[in-house]
Amino acid sequence: MMLGDLEVFLSSSLNQNVILLGDFNLDLFDAKVVSSSYVEMLNTYDYKWLNTKFPTRESVTTKTCIDHIHVNCLQQSYGINTVSSDISDHHILVLDVLRLIVQTIPQTVKEVTNK
């Protein structure tokens, strides 16, 4: 997905709760990537990066985070974990939506009397 395509998606889903996840091949542990247009765009649309502590691909010499989980529904609570597997050279990301918090808008009732 090109950045332009991503921005079209982000701008079209402003009023939706979105979990954006996948293999983006951008290492968010690399300072150059963190200051990139990709991260700036996600910040502009109020997305939070959840898997900040977990490398998703490891070798003998490197630990990278190229698989990302970003959310714009910050009223939720999340649990994140990784699982090693022989079927992939990436760790499997596990996202647990722990709690759904429903926000209600208080309504004011105004009493009207006719005299």
pLDDT level of residue 109 (50, 70, 90 thresholds):
low
pLDDT tens per residue, range 43-83: 999 999 999 998 999 999 999 999 999 999 887 888 888 89
CA distance 91 to 62: 14
Q: CA angle, corner 48, sides to 46 and 52, nearest 5?
A: 160
pLDDT tens per residue, range 73-91: 887 888 888 899 889 999 9
Sign of CA dihedral 63, 86, 77, 34: positive
pLDDT reported for residue 107: 55
Q: In the chain, what are the domains? A: 3-99 (3.60.10.10)
What predicted TM-score, i.e. pTM, was given to this entire model? Answer: 0.77
